[in-house]
Amino acid sequence: MRIISVFAAMVVAAGVSVAAEAQPLTTTKYQYYSINGTSALEVYKSMLVHGPRVNGAKAYAATSAQTSPAGYVVDGQSCRAHNLKLKINFVIQLPQMTNEQRLPPLIRSKWQQFSEFVKKHEETHRSIWMGCAKEFEARAASIGSGDCESVDAQAAELWNEIRIACDRKHAAFDAAQQKVLVKHPFVRLVFGASPPAAAIATIDKNTAALAHY
């Protein structure tokens, strides 16, 4: 993603394969990494040191989504997609201050705003993937019956098509968010109202793209 060394959404898309019927399940787990500091710059540096890494790049936060299908009906050597759903397990990693009360009131207020901004950003990535999953479920209804290998291949091809389109949605969202990010009050406390080009370039260098595993 093209956000100033900040946000990274990592999608773990499990291969779509024939599975026993099961109730589709969506879960979200929040994981927090500890940061500290008594100034905006110290807090920012703490995030870069302790924050998640995606493909080796530094990030403020990260979202992973692990998917697997449910809803195949197996009849001997024949299979059909029946109410095919995606099971999605989300893990959202966020920063958490250990000494927030030690921050000066103004910095603490801006930090709290930034913390909420980061959380909302990651939850929007989750919403984007949920929308893509719903599209998959709707279109999967058109997958016909046949041998299990053929049905499995159709489902995998459909998910891959939707996943690629979903990547574009994430990228577009990040591009729009970058414009908001550079103007965020907390970021301006760190770099000033007009960050020098060298500072922006340094941050951009560590930007992590949307990853797929």
Side chain identity, residue 36: N
Residue 179 and residue 87: Cα distance in Å, rounded?
A: 33
What pLDDT digit, counting tens, does each position of 41-60 carry?
999 999 999 999 877 888 89
**pTM score of the predicted model:** 0.79
Whole-number pLDDT of residue 76 = 62
State the pairing for strand pair 211-212/57-58.
unpaired
pLDDT tens across the length of the chain (213 residues): 323 333 444 334 333 333 333 334 689 999 999 999 999 999 999 999 999 987 788 889 999 998 887 765 566 667 777 777 788 899 999 999 999 999 999 999 999 999 999 999 999 999 999 999 999 888 888 887 777 788 888 888 998 999 999 999 999 998 899 888 888 999 999 988 665 544 433 333 333 322 222
Q: Would you call 91 helix, strand, or coil by DSSP?
A: strand
Cα gap 99→31, rounded to integer Å: 18
Q: Specify the DSSP class assigned to residue 46.
A: H
String of DSSP letters for 50-83: HS-EETTEE-SEEEEEEEEEEEEEEETTEEEEEE
**Taking a C-beta distance cutoff of 8 angstroms, is the pair 58, 208 a contact?**
yes
Backbone angle region of 161, left / alpha / beta, with phi > 0 → left and psi within -120 to 50 → alpha: alpha
CA angle 95/86/165 to nearest 5° reads 75
